[in-house]
Chain A
Amino acid sequence: MSTDSLVKIKNLVKHFDISGGLLDQLQMENGRITRKQTVVKAVNNVSFEIQKGETLSVVGESGCGKSTLARTVMGLYPPNSGEVHYDGQRIDCLPHRQMLPYRTKMQMVFQDPYASLNPRMTVRQIIEEPIYFHNKGISRGDAKNKLHEVMRSVGMDPEWAGNYPHEFSGGQRQRISIARALAVEPEFIVADEPIAALDVSIQAQILNLLMDAQEERNLTYLFISHDLSVVEHISTRVAVMYLGSLCELGTAKEIFSSPRHPYTRALLSAIPTLGGEKKKHIHLSGDVPTPINLPPGCVFHGRCQFANDRCREEIPLGRNLENGTLCACHAVEEGRL
């Protein structure tokens, strides 16, 4: 693996305390008042690196911590522990002012194009705000040129800049959202399910737009999605997450052709296929446990047909396999599977 990594995440942990105020936390237990905190363990000990110019996709079912991971990388949530490095510099603990230079390098595209644009601002105001903010003293003409350039690059007519977001369709809004991210000339873009809220016919357009932008501007993507066929199409590498933990990470080709982790196998067997021979669909029994009470050992053991006593007690660590894939599974490691 090359050492040219742009973003590096080390043992990232993000927990959310949802127990409310002190009075809500107090409970009577056996005649004694005890303080009980409820914590959602959204991301647990996740480490990976993103190489320059690649698209790393994170997949997993809803609630597995994909979006939390993306937001923690962007610094929207402070991590409980662990580190986020950008270009060799640790950025997760920087104060606001020192973080500013990284804000132009890292941008984000959000899932819901109906909520990610301020309804009281025109498209011009939305896109020009980051331009003016990060280029202090830029002339009006230059800002306007930049606005027109990014609007054209996302396939929008600059004539529409005076309109409000509600006057556009979902696909067009997502283009505006991408234009806002591109306006500060970033190197790295986190796309948090950017096509999940869109019509299928529009999804392809937005995906092509993202891929074209990557080619023209030499971007690196962290792409969050639950749409496996899309992920296979656009990714360089794929990370599979389950219940806040990383199960498997490898090149898209390896993951989709020979998945190793039992969860990845089950997940990939759920992709519908057209024609050809039918693949055997692996049915998982039971539900995803809640991230409030994580199961001990491997988080997947309750639904895994290969689980044994070791899986119930010991948390598996990610190990590199012979094909370069990183897999966190005792069964794979022991050759039971």
Chain B
Amino acid sequence: MKTRSRWQRFKESYFLHDFLHDKVALTSFCILAVLLFMGFAAPLVAPFNPYDAHNIDIMNAEIPPSWLPGGDTTFLLGTDAQGRDLFSTMLYGMRVSLIIGIGAVCLQAFLGIMVGLVAGFMGKRVESILMRVADVQLSFSTYMVAIFISAIFQAMFGVAKYEEIAVPLLILVIGFAEWPQYARTVRASVLAEKKKEYVEAAKVIGLSQKRIMWRHVLPNTLSPVFVISTIQVANAIMSEAALSFVGLGMPVTQPSLGSLINVGFEYIFSGSWWITMFPGIVLVLLILVINLLGDWLRDFLNPKLYKG
């Protein structure tokens, strides 16, 4: 038995083997990788910059996709009501959606892991207080909290200022609305881990509570966190789309997938179905592949759950 490097361990691991032999997971991962690349490399990939008003000509509005009669080959998927190339706008919109989704999940995870870890490890009164706070937070619907806060901010800052702070604000709103999911998951696994003998061994060594909590308990509670993170990213993107759809998310000048769907919705009965349809398909695809990957990860990390 020789010590192997991290990369060798990974190459020989059952994790990689299982992943490579699961067609659904592999396909989902490939699609997700392509979407992530296209989204984050939007300024390089997209033929137009939808944020730059010089590129936009209102005369190009509502041009259908290039393969339909009346289509223009410069606009592959057609244009929206303002004359922006839909393909480019979608790529930029996906980037906004992904940034908000991932940012919100980072915030949720940070808050939830802190609260869950401290509550589970300290126990007693601290636990009661923190978990009751989480319960109260959970008893509000995410959308209610988000709509409430967004509406207040829009009224406070005015629409022009709101456009500047829309991305961090949405991250904050969605992040604060969903952290109890993490807190509960982390607390449950902390309760299971802190009774194990390696924690007692660490106490016998004389390590401080803080160090045991961070160095010993936390790393062992992270696998369920990874699983819910994938699902929470999908949820956060959906929440953002839903908020944008009701007009409280991203403004039309910096559209996310959700606000594109919302904008296109007004034109759907005038025959311009593509403005809503294409962002809708991308949104569904994005959320589907993230959820499928999350399912695979959950099955892998919890072999007691066999697929039926």
**Residue in contact with A110 in the complex, picked from B3, B200, B220, CB distance below 8 Å:** B200
Q: Kindly specify which of B74-82, B202-210, B235-243 makes contact with the partner chain.
A: B202-210
B197 lies within 8 A of chain A by Cβ: yes
* Alpha-carbon distance between A133 and B219 when the two chains are bound, in angstroms: 19
Question: Do A100 and B206 form a contact, CB below 8 Å, given A120-B219, A160-B1, A160-B3?
Answer: yes
* Alpha-carbon distance between A184 and B207 when the two chains are bound, in angstroms: 13
**Residue in contact with B197 in the complex, picked from A112, A159, A162, CB distance below 8 Å:** A112
* Alpha-carbon distance between A133 and B216 when the two chains are bound, in angstroms: 14
**B197 with A116: CB separation less than 8 A:** yes
A4 lies within 8 A of chain B by Cβ: no
Interface residues of A in 232-291 (CB under 8 A from B): none
Interface residues of B in 219-275 (CB under 8 A from A): 219-220
B305 lies within 8 A of chain A by Cβ: no
**A71 with B197: CB separation less than 8 A:** no
Q: How large is the interface on A (under 10, 10 to 19, 20 to 34, 35 or more residues)?
A: 20 to 34
**A184 with B220: CB separation less than 8 A:** no
**B196 with A115: CB separation less than 8 A:** yes
A163 lies within 8 A of chain B by Cβ: yes
Q: What 0/1 pattern do residues 111 to 131 of A give for CB contact below 8 A with B?
A: 110011111100000000110
B21 lies within 8 A of chain A by Cβ: no
Nearest CB in chain B: distance from A15 CB, A: 17
**B1 with A163: CB separation less than 8 A:** yes
**A118 with B203: CB separation less than 8 A:** no
A207 lies within 8 A of chain B by Cβ: no
* Alpha-carbon distance between A167 and B4 when the two chains are bound, in angstroms: 12
**B220 with A119: CB separation less than 8 A:** yes
Interface residues of B in 1-15 (CB under 8 A from A): 1-4
B37 lies within 8 A of chain A by Cβ: no
Taking CB atoms, residues of chain A closer than 8 Å to B207 are 129, 133
**A110 with B197: CB separation less than 8 A:** yes
**A76 with B220: CB separation less than 8 A:** no
* Alpha-carbon distance between A244 and B256 when the two chains are bound, in angstroms: 67
Question: Do A115 and B206 form a contact, CB below 8 Å, given A161-B3, A163-B1?
Answer: no
Question: Do A162 and B3 form a contact, CB below 8 Å, given A99-B206, A103-B205, A118-B220?
Answer: yes
B59 lies within 8 A of chain A by Cβ: no
Question: Do A76 and B3 form a contact, CB below 8 Å, given A133-B206, A133-B207, A134-B206?
Answer: no
Interface residues of A in 83-124 (CB under 8 A from B): 96, 99-100, 103-104, 106-108, 110-112, 115-120
**B1 with A116: CB separation less than 8 A:** no
Taking CB atoms, residues of chain B closer than 8 Å to A107 are 204
Question: Do A184 and B205 form a contact, CB below 8 Å, given A160-B1, A167-B1?
Answer: yes
* Alpha-carbon distance between A53 and B201 when the two chains are bound, in angstroms: 23
Nearest CB in chain A: distance from B154 CB, A: 44
A219 lies within 8 A of chain B by Cβ: no
Nearest CB in chain B: distance from A104 CB, A: 8
Taking CB atoms, residues of chain B closer than 8 Å to A118 are 198, 202, 216, 219-220
* Alpha-carbon distance between A74 and B200 when the two chains are bound, in angstroms: 10
**A76 with B200: CB separation less than 8 A:** yes
Taking CB atoms, residues of chain A closer than 8 Å to B206 are 96, 99-100, 103-104, 130, 133-134
Interface residues of A in 130-167 (CB under 8 A from B): 130, 133-134, 159-163, 167
A14 lies within 8 A of chain B by Cβ: no
**A108 with B216: CB separation less than 8 A:** no
Nearest CB in chain B: distance from A174 CB, A: 12
* Alpha-carbon distance between A184 and B205 when the two chains are bound, in angstroms: 9
* Alpha-carbon distance between A133 and B203 when the two chains are bound, in angstroms: 12
Most buried by B among A103, A118, A133: A118
* Alpha-carbon distance between A112 and B199 when the two chains are bound, in angstroms: 13
* Alpha-carbon distance between A163 and B219 when the two chains are bound, in angstroms: 17
**B198 with A117: CB separation less than 8 A:** yes
Q: List 10 A-B contacts (CB under 8 A).
A: A96-B206, A103-B204, A103-B205, A115-B196, A116-B197, A118-B202, A119-B220, A133-B207, A162-B4, A177-B201
11 new A-B contacts at CB < 8 Å, known A110-B200, A116-B196, A117-B201: A96-B206, A110-B197, A110-B201, A116-B198, A118-B202, A130-B206, A159-B1, A159-B3, A160-B3, A161-B3, A184-B205
Q: Which residues of chain A have a CB within 8 Å of any CB of chain B? A: 71, 74, 76, 96, 99-100, 103-104, 106-108, 110-112, 115-120, 129-130, 133-134, 159-163, 167, 177, 180, 184
Closest 3 CB pairs of A and B: A162-B3, A103-B206, A116-B197
